[in-house]
Homo-oligomer: A and B are copies of this chain.
Amino acid sequence: MKLDLTRPIFDAHNAVAAENRGLLDKAGVFALNLMSSPGAGKTCLILATVDRLPPSISSGVIEGDPAARIDADIIAARGIPVTQINTGGGCHLHAPMIRAALDHLPLTDIDLLFVENVGNLICTANFVLGTHKQIVLASVPEGHDKPYKYPGMFAAADAVVLAKADVLRSFDFDLAYFRHGLDIVNPNIPLFAVSSRTGEGLDTWMAWLLQHILKPHLVLAAT
């Protein structure tokens, strides 16, 4: 018999993730788990997305970082409800952290909740949080080989956003090679090449997102 010491931890996390999902669904909140390398542009994508939401959809943010509350302050300055989680050096968010953070957000006033995970292209993929969709950001300056080197992260994603697309050419980024790498680990996964700075590509991302946000609301309205 092999004793797996991590199994009880994962089981406990999965139970809390299910509890989180229940709380979110009850309040009519659609939640995204944003995962990427450090500095890929998660906060900028959140702000660019919020700017393009219809007025009827309000947002909230859970910020995850090993330390500091730099991004939370940026979000709060825009008048968006936000809770900061500092992992104290921990390499990922986990469901119990989200459970605690949800108590500090006005859930009934939020339609779309962004969970900005710790910047880490490996560990974050292994922990379910209870969010509805897992979004992985890659950024152009990181290079086009990331799906080949970090397949676990891209396999865990529901959609991939390629950020900083305005510098695609100056960084010699081979989009076809990147797409091919995605297809190996996660065939036909939606890919959105965007620039939060110039706005390019954001319309397609918003269309995909709105289609998913609005669906559970329509279901709720019918019950």
Contact = CB atoms under 8 A, between A and B. Distances in A.
Given A39-B37, A91-B122, A123-B123, A70 B141 contact: no
Number of copies of this protein chain within its complex: 2
A91 B38 contact: no
A157 to B, nearest CB: 15
Contacts of A170: 167
Contacts of A152: 66, 89
Contacts of A39: 37, 139, 141-143, 146
A119 interface: yes
Interface in A133-155: 139, 141-143, 145-146, 148-152
Greatest chain B CB density within 10 A among A5, A121, A139 is at A121
Contact of A67 (B5, B66, B148): B148
A1 to B, nearest CB: 18
A137 to B, nearest CB: 12
A146 B37 CA distance: 11
Contacts of A89: 122, 151-152
A120 B91 contact: yes
A65 B120 CA distance: 14
A67 B149 contact: yes
Contacts of A118: 122
Contact of A142 (B38, B66, B91, B121): B38
Given A39-B141, A142-B39, A66 B120 contact: no
A68 interface: yes
19 contacts: A37-B142, A38-B142, A38-B150, A39-B139, A39-B142, A67-B148, A67-B150, A68-B148, A68-B149, A89-B122, A89-B152, A90-B122, A91-B122, A91-B123, A119-B150, A120-B120, A120-B122, A141-B141, A167-B170
Given A39-B141, A65-B149, A66-B150, 13 more contacts: A37-B38, A38-B149, A39-B139, A39-B142, A39-B143, A39-B146, A66-B122, A67-B151, A70-B148, A89-B152, A91-B91, A122-B123, A167-B170
Which 3 A-B pairs rank lowest in CB-CB distance, beginning with the nearest?
A39-B142, A141-B141, A91-B122
